[in-house]
Amino acid sequence: MSSGSEEEPPPLAGAEGTHHLPQPRERQEQRAVSPSSNSLSSGEQRAASPSSNSLSSGEQRAVSNSSNPQSGGELADATGPQAWCHPNCIERPLSRAFGWLGALVATCPWAFVLLPLLLSAALGSGFCYLPQRKTNDFESQFAPLRGPAKRERRFIQEHFPSNDSGCFFSSRLSTEGTFASFIVVSSSSDSVLTRAAFREILALDRAVRRLNAPWGSPASPLSYPDLCVRTHDSCSSPNPLLDIIEWDPAQIETVALPFLAPFLGRVQLDPGPESESSWLRAAKALKLVYYLREDEVPDRERSLHWLENLLQRIQGQLDALNFTSIQVAYFTSISREEEFERHTKEVIPLFSVTYFLTLLFAIVSCLRLDCVRNKAWVAAFGVLSSGLAVLSGIGLLLFCGVPFVMTVANTPFLVLGAGVDDMFIMVSCWQQTKVKDEVKKRMSATYAEAAVSVTITTLTDVLAFYIGTATSFQSVKAFCLYSGTALIFCYLYNLTFFGAILALNGKREEGNRHWLTFLKVKHETESGSRSVYNLCCVGGSFDEDTGAEVDHPVTAFFRNYYGPFLTNIWTKVFVVLLYLVYLASSIYGCIYIKEGTDLRNLASDHSYVVQYYDWDDEYFSEYGPRVMVSVSESVPYWDSSVRADIENCLESLECISYVDKKLSQSWLRAYEMFAEINSLSIDNKDFFMSNLSLLFTLVPEFEWDVNIRFKEIAASRFFIQTVNVTTAVAKKNLVKQLRDLAANCKIPLMVYHPAFIYFVQYAAIVRNTIQKVIITSGAMVVVSLLLIPNPLCSLWVTFAIASVIVGVDGFMTYWGVNLDSISMINLVICIGFSVDFSAHIVYAFFSSKEPDVNGKAVDALHHLGYPVVQSAISTILGVVVLSAANTYIFRTFFKIMFLVITFGAAHGLIFIPVFLTFFGNLCGIITQQQHYTSPKNNNIAQ
């Protein structure tokens, strides 16, 4: 046919999917709007991309001005003031390319079915590397990958190596160590310092020491005495109090006990015999810590094996002991890793439930009463396509050696929902084509309409995830990398595997065959037949006016009922008040948001670890880390002015509110006092160095605080005791104040404690979150501006992104979610979904030809209302099962995704349409109609 033919082009997916410039009202009434089967789910609303709102090649074919026909599909009037608003330079070539791809898929569908299956099988074999790639190390996942704390640790390990087989001091460890810890709490009285309690405490100690683990020969199992750290050739005591009472419960009530801060909790003190001393009267809790050797690799392997055996047997031991005076909670240095391993196993069954729910939702959404137009099989294979994408994406990265951390277990839930969304777009656009056209032509038109939208949606989502990989947290980096890669495969498989299924289904429809039996059925109902017969054995109906499948009633609901209701003046007033309440509540929540990862939240709800963390916070939180203060360079200690500078620096550190100066320990202070008492001169290098041995004889642990190399003191360290470091803010402030003071000292100082590895996350989390939110938001705005080259639209997109992020951050506080690496993942996702929900509504409004702002808002909701609702439902279904998880990490993922989807949908369906009716006229809305020619659909197919 000639290009000027008056034949009506096939209706487009714009009614529900790609949201191109609406046609005049009389034309809209005739357009086929996608039914439930093509109702665009979350992918639909995402696929309703900015590109879709701009005139795509499919739109250019459909929006034809009969009074000014052109041939060849060229722009009839590209010189109008709005010509710059249509990014045909990007979208039009893409539409043509995808139209060609759609025709190719229709030509040889079985090849596009088999190739993705074979590729998925090949890449899926990467799962055999999962045990090797899986990492449960807490530090690598939830501590910043780089930072000063790790450099400080390397310095301490180099200059102050530990000796756990001869001279062990727990306060001088550069790491947490390898240990088993028990917290003992009095059951009946206010103190564990009673004979009855100590009899049971000693029974617990004996049970731990007698616990054997099989190793090598059955005749020589591992026991605690074989592995314990040693001081003076004997096992280091798990609590100094046991040595003081000489392991005799009778002495606990008769011996004067000194104050042992880190080992006793909620103490009551009496004045001691000296004015500066305090003596214990009572203590509610006591801690036993059994350290194991780890300096040598064989020792570490055996110690870890003994701990694993302890975790398997200790609960049975405690039950057998049947304590009446005390209660016991336990924890080991490998408990967090054991919990991570358990989390991953617990979430696997949840994915099967999610897959079933998604499959059910997809099939229900694609069900039709017409036995030929029913697309249940299409929906089922669409869900399978997303599953193949998860298999391929994760398998590929496992092949490449990318660590599989616990947060990656969230990826299948997210990708499954996103893939189903894109599937709905394809179905919607297929249903907008003319049913009488050949399958090749329909596939070409479908791809030209839908594939561009899916491409842009994938671009924004993948871009958000890959920007998220530029973080200092491995848990965030790995999740973003796995999710972004899986989404790419999801996109590729939707265009190939699912497209081929759609083509095969189209051939079935072309032959008017039943969706289940694949037998041919009649086109028209028989008046004498029963309704059940007509329902099951008659099919293939379509809209005679448009040539497409029959319209869906939900889309009409948004146009006829919801839109007019929302644009009512009193409804607008209520919406404005509702938004003000939302904004105020969100800002208030942002002010009180908690920062950092609470260690308790990393355990399952019913784990033994929870009780230990609770008691540790309740009874032992008053005294914080014992911080090392290291002189990091060689200085002349024998110079009195240098010693004075060191003393001034140490005093400045002791003056902050988080430090108790009475509990500091300094070998240099002790040396000066020792020299003064014994009239020794230490102002000369030779005398200073030669007399150090006398100090070390008197206080042996000081020898491990002075690093002497080539008769020079290369480095030395002192200790200060912190107090009341109980909150994330206090931990962040402690590290910052100590480091600032150390940096301002005349002497090169370094402050360090193993806990600083994790404390720095509180500052890094906020900084990383702000950076990623700003960068990702900027990237999304640039993409929006590129694909919707209207700065006013981009301004509203920016507003929506900011508003949703503030809302999610604020309501995290009300829902008990901290700002940590887990929630930071979801905030990155939040930005992508904010774009999906907002950009299309805004541009549909700006590009509408309705004469007034209310009409434009109704028109935008008519095109996008159902897709947004379906998007919210399908995406929430993808993660809802995580709400039943026993782990904070997975519940947090659900909570934030729920907030993101809820607030994003609320902005798209409520707030933005109303606000646009207020400010639309002020923004210079596009009102001039562009005139395009109407090339035939078979141009691309050919």
pLDDT above 60 for 537: yes
pLDDT above 80 for 456: no
Task: Give per-residue pLDDT as tens, 618-652.
Answer: 899 888 899 999 999 999 999 999 999 999 999 99
Beta-carbon count within 10 A of 584 CB: 11
**What pLDDT, on the 0 to 100 scale, is given for residue 530?**
55
CB 355 within 8 A of CB 363: no
Task: Give per-residue pLDDT as tens, 402-422.
Answer: 988 888 888 888 888 777 877
Task: Please give the DSSP secondary-structure letter assigned to residue 556.
Answer: H
Task: Please give the DSSP secondary-structure letter assigned to residue 404.
Answer: B
Average pLDDT, the chain: 79
Tokens at 279, concatenated: 């003596």
**What pLDDT, on the 0 to 100 scale, is given for residue 64?**
36
Task: Please give the DSSP secondary-structure letter assigned to residue 880.
Answer: G
Residues in the chain: 942
Least confident of 139-153, 236-250, 482-496, 531-545: 531-545
Of 463, 322, 296, 469, the C-alpha closest to 397 is 469
How far apart, in Å, are the Cα atoms of 751 and each of 212, 626, 737?
39, 10, 10
pLDDT above 90 for 747: yes
**What pLDDT, on the 0 to 100 scale, is given for residue 787?**
63
For the CA atoms of 58, 862, 791, 457, what is the dihedral angle to 10 degrees? Answer: -60
CB 33 within 8 A of CB 556: yes
Question: Which of 461-470, 530-539, 602-611, 906-915 holds the top average pLDDT?
Answer: 906-915
How far apart, in Å, are the Cα atoms of 373 and each of 130, 644, 802?
42, 89, 42
**What pLDDT, on the 0 to 100 scale, is given for residue 88?**
56
**What pLDDT, on the 0 to 100 scale, is given for residue 827?**
74
Least confident of 19-33, 259-273, 300-314: 19-33
Residue 19, phi then psi, degrees to nearest 5:
55, 50
Tokens at 795, concatenated: 């301004």
Using pLDDT thresholds of 50, 70 and 90, give the confidence band for residue 565.
very high
Using pLDDT thresholds of 50, 70 and 90, give the confidence band for residue 263.
confident
Q: Which long-range contacts (CB under 8 A, 24 or more apart) does 149-156 make?
A: 149/752, 149/756, 149/757, 149/759, 149/760, 150/757, 152/750, 152/751, 152/752, 152/756, 153/752, 153/754, 153/757, 155/630, 155/632, 155/715, 155/750, 155/752, 156/628, 156/630, 156/717, 156/752
For residues 365 and 360, give the distance between their C-alpha atoms in angstroms, rounded to a whole number: 9
Tokens at 6, concatenated: 């008056």
Task: Give per-residue pLDDT as tens, 763-821.
Answer: 777 777 777 778 877 777 777 777 665 677 777 777 888 888 889 889 988 988 877 76
Task: Give per-residue pLDDT as tens, 128-168.
Answer: 998 888 887 777 777 777 778 889 999 999 999 988 888 88
**Higher pLDDT among residues 919 and 258, named by residue:** 919
pLDDT above 60 for 751: yes
Residue 605, phi then psi, degrees to nearest 5:
-60, -35
**What pLDDT, on the 0 to 100 scale, is given for residue 3?**
39
Looking at 628-755, list the stretches that DSSP marks H as alpha helix, in order from N- to C-terminal side.
Answer: 640-654, 667-677, 685-698, 728-743
**What residues does each domain of the chain span?**
178-332, 621-759
Number of H helices, E strands in the chain: 35, 11
For residues 908 and 914, give the distance between their C-alpha atoms in angstroms, rounded to a whole number: 10
Tokens at 544, concatenated: 């005679």
For residues 492 and 116, give the distance between their C-alpha atoms in angstroms, rounded to a whole number: 9
How far apart, in Å, are the Cα atoms of 417 and each of 113, 382, 496, 674, 841?
21, 11, 18, 71, 21
